[in-house]
Structure 1
Amino acid sequence: RHFYPRWYKLYPWLEYSPKADSCFCFPCMLYSINSSSPFCNVGINSWKRCDFKFERHSDTATHKNNVQSWQADLAQTQPKVDELISHQRAEKRKRDEEMMELNRAALTRIAHLILTLVRQNCPLRGHDESASSSNKGNFLEFFETLVTYDPVLSEWRTKSTQRNATYTSPRIQLEILGLLSDYRFLKFVLCERANASVISSNIVRVIKELGLDIQHLVGQAYDGAATMGGCYSGVATRIIAENPKAVYVHCFAHRFNLVILGGLQQMDCVLEFFEKLQQVYAFFNRSPLKTSIFEDEQRKANVKVRHLKQLCDTRWLARDDALRTFLDIQMPLLSTLSRLQRGVDDIGDPSSRHKAQSFYQYFGSLDTVVTALSMRHILSMTTPLHTELQRPYLDLLKASEMIVGLKDQMKHLVSAKCNVFQEIYSKSTQNLASHIRDERMRTTRGQTVQRSENDHKAIFDTMVMKLISLLDTRFSSQTCEPLSSLSALCSLFATERDIYFQCFPESESSVHSKLSWLAVFFHLDACDVICQFDLVCRLFHTKSVNVNNIKMLAKIATQMKLANSYPEITKLFLIAATLPVTSASAERSFSKLKLIKTSHRSTMGQEFLNQTTLLSCNRDIDIPFTNIIAQFTSKTRRLKF
């Protein structure tokens, strides 16, 4: 026989002592004075007929009074034990939730700080980040400043019990950067050698590392260098050997730059003008005194003080800016050169006076002014297209339309009806009459004749005709058959199909032949593509769907869920929207690389470089910090989030 724990439920007042192996009455021990009951003194340890003894004690008046006193005291002094435990748990849960919310708020601020510094191309780490360092690097120094003025970070720093969980270490910075930078730009890859074999193998390797199938690649865009676009062993050719559907696109922006470069550099007068412009830039840039005189002449002429701009050897868009600046300040420039050649300001350098005289004679001639204004008019037509072709969201249809529009505009320049050059020549002679000298042209016999307006007109027409010829060559349909075919087909959605074919009945067979060629090229069913194309054309025109560009065409096809009914032609639309027109936006990452990978950051790792460059390139992307924090906190951390 022994004590049974089930007695606790039958007699809540019962208390058992394992040491004495006896039972006691808790309220009677607490409230009885000088009681002789064994439940209050020595206890009950005879287990025979214990139930009877417990019942008999429960019926006594003394016990009942003691139980009432006990219950009254419990009700007045403290809540029940289970209620007390539940309340404590609720309080702890509330404190934990508040701390988790505070941790998330602090982590969000840390991520924001990292993103801001990276987008400004600022280094994060310092050479010495120890507690005794006077300069711990940009991240830690800015973080300490935020802690001083931001109440959330200040409270987090005070309440955080994990002193070794500050979440400001380089490892945490790199992890947060990895979450922030999961967007468009992929990475920089270090190439052992700059040849087509190494570059193409690295491209294929990265595609596989990203879990992508190279057979799904439909387009690749590079510049026209032999390494990238060579028809025998270039990168594009090697990629096409892996996947014949990977259309190579010679970047439209690079191609157009070659048109301007090739057309204008063949003109001796244009080359001479820009060489002289670069020389006069260096002439003033190397001397603060000459620059001061130049600024003084601009103030006298009541024009905004500006400086000549340096030219770029390859980017003709930059030359347009330099030309605009030159024409805006040409009169003060000639006045400055006149002062310098006459020695009015006591320069004291004979070579400088000689150069100033040479520059004055050149930039004050009618030939130079006509050349500059002619170039200004031509570049004013080409620069908008040059800028537009560098936009990342440009599609095939819009690019083709803009190039055709430029060619038509240039053809109008050389037509008999156009009087643009006459206006240029008149402006040259009237506005700059005080400085312009008559330019004479030497003949083969040593005689000199005055250069006439017709001579200048012939030079102007030659420049324009060369540009038109190069546009026809560089942007012909044979240059990239898939691009031209897709562009021609998608243009039908911007017109009434039936009216178009009524006016040009021979075009319907041409469209079907292009569709068949594209279907074979992209491994689609030719019969289905032709039938589905006709049906989708009629569907769009029946519903009055307005299509302005290829990307809109693909978007509408996706919204209307045409892939369910017309899968083959929908694939063709998506391919047309995916094919790259320009690689200029991708090459801007090289400019960012020059800003980020400086001599002061020579120890930067490859992973850190990729992530910082990615964020710097994609400044326009809104970072979803809620998702970033959720991904970061999904791993086991020292702090609760």
Structure 2
Amino acid sequence: MNGNQTSALVQDGFDNWKRVTGKKCVFLVHVGSSASSSHNKCVTAADALMKPSGHIDKVMHRIGGEEVLKHRLRLKTTIMVVKQLALQGSSFRGHDESDDSLNPGNVLAWIGFAAKLNDQINSVVLRNAPGNAKYTSPSIQKEILGIIANRVRCKIREEIGDSCFSILVDEAVDEAGREQMSVILRYVSSYGIVTERFFALKSVADTSAETLKQAICGVLSQYDLQIEKLRGQGYDGASNMSGQFNGVKALFLRDCPYAYFVHCFAHRLQLALITSAKVCDPIWDFFSILDCIINVVKASPKRIRELQAIHKKDLDGMLDAGEIQSGQGANQMTSLKRSGPTRWGSHYHSILSIINMFNATCVVLEDLCRSKEGEQRAQARGASKNIKTFEFVFNLHLMKGIMDITDFLCQAFQQESVDIVAAVGFVSMAKLKLQKLRDEGWDKLLIEVKSFCSKHAIEVPNMNATHGRGEKQTTLEHRYHFEYFNQCIDFQLGTLNSRFNESSVRLLQLSGALDPKSSFQSFDEENIYRLAEEFYPQDFEGNEMYCLKNELGYYADHVVHCQEYDVSSLAKLLEKLVETGMDARYRLICRLIRLVLTLPVSTATTERSFSAMKHVKTDLRNKMGDEFLADCLTIFFEREYVIGMDEDSIIDEFAKLKDRRVQLTL
């Protein structure tokens, strides 16, 4: 075939029409007899173009459909394993992940376990997986974890919608010594339920107010949470957080004057209880002796086993005598509880444990006095001597009576759904109970202490005996009554009054007018209107304040006098209004209730997130990256969003993220 002629008809064009006849006709030569000629190649290509079933994308889908399913099965297996490990807070990787490793890490181990139960997984995921598409590498695990965690945060953001919200923030040091800041969002859901959600964990270089504020703003802006919608801030009493001029509180108030700060109620209660114990010498001495006794008994496993054996024998004797009743969960074996320096509620559990195991504790201390020598014997003798005194037993039961009341506050302040109005009410209730204990509880306490001493063979002094000299001479009963009992309760009441002096806070005072407790006893239309006018003008615009006043009139005639809405708290009231559809009828009042409920009460949720962080980032996993830790903690802490998450949708998002459509998408 002539190259020039071919070139002319294919590329350059042809105009020599004298050569179109005969055997050497240019057209005949162009067509040729070979299938590889230019003309025949073009004809074949044209025929293929006219047949859609032969197009390359159809061929790829027809040939690769089965391979795509295999790729998806491999990735789905990894996703399910990663999700379950994250929900349990377990480790992912092993030190040796080679094929012949005996401990390749949890991800590979659980995939291998699944393969033993499923032949398809064994064939596709393990034995026949290509080296570049096993979907088990650490980078793949992190990508999957990031997708799941981001979905959780997006779901929380979706629940908040356009509603206002509050932030709860605290810092703690992780196992690697890095400062971590936990950010919790508090909001009211569309169903009227007060909700607190763990949202982010950020590593910060320092804990200065400016650094923390920038980190918080970065988290909020990433998910389009506007500072203008911030209606509350909850921190502890540290100066970098709640400082009047340069704390995080003050910095946010400059950007949003309606982001009202509430000092954590649980932290305030902790400070109040510690302060009252420190200024009352007999009580501070009592707790020092109590800690010493518990430390001596719990110094070795052998002593703990002896303590439990003696206590079991005591329980068996009381069961036989009918002094206690058996039942499921009753009379379980336990031990003495050590108190924590930062959790005053733990002192209450220490007191209960030593009352419950008093006889066993005395026996163990007596055995130590006889068997040990030197320093240990001296400690045991001192502890044994102190525990068998009337003064110790008196203070033991006195503090039990007081902390029966204050422990209720500790538990109430740690509830996610507690609102600011209910919290103030709980404090007032505790003050009344303490005052009642002071006025009416002395005789009952003295009888209880004497009965306990008689049961455990402890000498009870003559309460009418004189004590002191000269003008200070009094009876022993007078000393215990006024210098111990009354003084201790007075210190407790005094510190509670100083730490929880909410009467001067107008926001909380006006918010109490919405409280439905005791058949809306505190309801006041004027105060509710002032609450919206003074503290939430940003949320009631135009004629809405006028409409709110009209709504309050109908609300007072309908809801306030309706037995159906006679509930115990503001949170339950809103739930009831939403349930009955009255939130649409009283739209503005419900908006105001939501704003009040958004105010934080305590930072207990941040403390729980730090407990979860210790579970996830342990001493053996202290090299965990900050982003990986935050994703693990999000899944571990907010597991209800993760349990029902669809793996196929995660695969599709994974494919889009890394453009793996050919491998993972049909």
Give the alignment of 1:135-150 within 5 angstroms: 135-150=103-118
Shift of 1:630: 5.0
Is it true that 1:517 corresponds to 2:517 in the alignment?
Answer: no
- The residue type equivalent to 1:451 in the other structure is L
Distance 1:593 1:511, change over 3 A: closer
**Superimposed CA distance per residue, residues 104-155 of structure 1 (whole angstroms, 9 cap, x where no aligned partner):** 5664443332122223322212233333444322211222122112345235
Q: Measure, in 1, the Cα distance between the counterparts of 2:510 and 2:277.
A: 31
CA distance, structure 1, for counterparts of residue 277 and residue 366 of structure 2: 30
What is the aligned partner in structure 2 of residue 199 from structure 1?
Answer: 212
1:27 alignment counterpart = none
Q: 1:388 aligns with which of 400, 412, 419?
A: 412
Amino acid at match of 2:226: D
**SS state at 2:115 partner:** helix
CA gap of 1:130–1:350, structure 2 versus 1, over 3 A, is: closer
Q: In the alignment, which of 617, 621, 629 is matched to residue 597 of structure 1?
A: 617
Which deviations, in whole Å up to 9, do the C-alpha atoms of 1:356-391 show, x marking residues without a partner?
222122110111001111111222222233112112
**What amino acid sits opposite 1:598 in the alignment?**
T
Question: Does 2:233 align with 1:220?
Answer: yes
1:390/1:582 contact within 8 Å kept: yes
Measured after TM superposition, the shift of residue 435 of structure 1 is: 3.0
Q: Equivalents in 2 of 1:160, 1:541: separation in Å?
A: 70
Distance 1:399 1:261 in 2: 20
| Partner residue, 1:540 | 559
2:198 to 166, 185, 205: 185
* 2:357 paired residue number: 329
Tell me the equivalent position of 1:475: 500
**2:432 aligned with 1:377, yes or no?**
no
Q: Are residues 427 and 103 of structure 1, via their aligned partners in 2, closer, same or farther at CA, if it must alter by over 3 Å?
A: farther
Aligned to 1:25: none
Q: Secondary structure at the match of 1:315?
A: coil
For the structure 1 residues 286 and 454, does the alpha-carbon distance in structure 2 shift closer, same or farther, using more than 3 Å as the test? Answer: closer
Conserved in 1, the CA contact under 8 Å of 2:336 and 2:350?
Answer: yes
C-alpha contact 1:100 1:640 (8 A) present in aligned 2: yes
How many angstroms does 1:543 deviate by?
7.4
Deviations 1:397-442 (A, max 9, x none): 332333232222222212248754244334334323x134649997
1:364, 1:437 within 8 Å by CA — same for their partners in 2?
no
Q: Of 550, 558, 576, which aligns to 2:596? A: 576
Residues 613 and 104 (structure 1 numbering): CA distance in 2 closer, same or farther, change over 3 Å?
same
Match of 1:435 in 2: 458
> Counterpart of 2:88 in structure 1: which amino acid?
Q
Aligned counterpart, 1:14: none
| Cα distance change of structure 1 residues 132 and 154 upon mapping to structure 2, 3 Å threshold | closer
SS at match of 1:248: strand
Q: CA 1:399–1:597 in 2, change beyond 3 Å: closer, same or farther?
A: same
Q: How far did residue 496 of structure 1 move? A: 5.9
Q: Which amino acid aligns with 1:431?
A: K
Identity %: 22
Tell whether 2:436 aligns with 1:408. no
Q: CA 1:622–1:158 in structure 2 vs 1: closer, same or farther (change >3 Å)?
A: closer
Opposite residue 231 of structure 1, the aligned amino acid is Q
Do the aligned residues in 1 keep the contact of 2:71 with 2:133 (CA within 8 Å)?
no
User: What TM-score do the two structures reach when normalised by structure 1?
Assistant: 0.74
| CA deviation after TM superposition for structure 1 residue 97, in Å | 7.6
Structure with more relative contact order (C-alpha pairs < 8 Å, separation 6 or more): 2
Establish whether residue 128 from structure 1 lines up as the match of residue 96 from structure 2: yes
Matches of residues 74-113 of structure 1 in structure 2 within 5 Å? Answer: 107-113=75-81
Aligned partners of 1:413 and 1:420 also within 8 Å: no
AA paired with 2:116? T
**Alpha-carbon separation, structure 2, partners of 1:444 and 1:519:** 63
| Map of 1:271 onto structure 2 | 284
- Higher deviation after alignment, 606-615 or 153-162: 153-162
In the other structure, the counterpart of 1:358 is: 382
Q: Which residue of 2 aligns with 1:230?
A: 243
Please report how far the alpha carbon of residue 634 of structure 1 lies from its aligned counterpart in structure 2 after TM superposition: 5.0
Offset, 1:315: 0.3
Structure 1 counterpart of 2:343, one-letter code: R
Moved more, 96-105 or 278-287: 96-105
Which amino acid is the alignment partner of residue 193 of structure 1? D
Displacement of 1:458 in angstroms is: 4.7
8 Å CA contact 1:270, 1:371 repeated in 2: yes
CA positional deviation for 1:293: 4.8
Structure 1 pair 130–430 and aligned structure 2 pair: CA distance change class (3 A):
same
TM-score, structure 2 as length reference = 0.72
Cα deviation, 1:155-184, whole Å, max 9, x if unaligned, reads 542796655322222222112212322234
Distance in 1 of aligned mates of 2:431 and 2:613: 36
User: Which runs of 5 or more residues in structure 2 are unaligned?
Assistant: 1-30, 35-52, 154-196, 317-331
- The answer for the alignment partner of 2:392 in structure 1 is 368
Equivalent residue of 2:515, what SS? Answer: helix
Match of 1:232, SS state, is: coil
One of 131, 136, 142 as aligned partner of 1:174: 142
Separation of aligned partners in 1, 2:234 and 2:241: 9
Task: From the superposition, tell whether residues 396 and 101 of structure 1 become closer, same or farther in structure 2 (CA, over 3 Å).
Answer: farther
Confirm whether residue 339 of structure 1 aligns to residue 367 of structure 2. yes
CA distance 1:20–1:585, shift in 2 (3 Å): closer
**Letter of the 2:344 counterpart:** W
Q: Secondary structure at the match of 2:234?
A: strand
Q: Deviation string for 1:442-461 (max 9, x for gaps)?
A: 7368x998732662465223
TM-align CA RMSD: 3.9
Query: CA separation in 2, counterparts of 1:427 and 1:374?
Result: 14
What secondary structure is seen at the aligned counterpart in 1 of 2:233? strand
Residue identity in the other structure for 2:99: A
- Over 3 Å counting, the alpha-carbon distance change for 1:441 and 1:273 in structure 2 is farther
The code of the aligned residue for 2:256 comes to: N
Distance in 1 separating the partners of 2:309 and 2:664: 66
- Give 1:249's aligned amino acid: V
**Which shifted more, 149-158 or 197-206?**
149-158
**Contact kept in structure 1, 2:244 and 2:250, CA below 8 Å:** yes
Q: How many residues get paired?
A: 548
Superposition deviation, residue 191 in structure 1: 1.7
Once the 2 structures are TM-superposed, how far is the Cα of residue 612 of structure 1 from its aligned partner?
Answer: 0.7
Larger radius of gyration: 1
Q: Which moved more, 1:320-329 or 1:473-482?
A: 473-482
Deviation at 1:234, TM superposition (A): 1.6
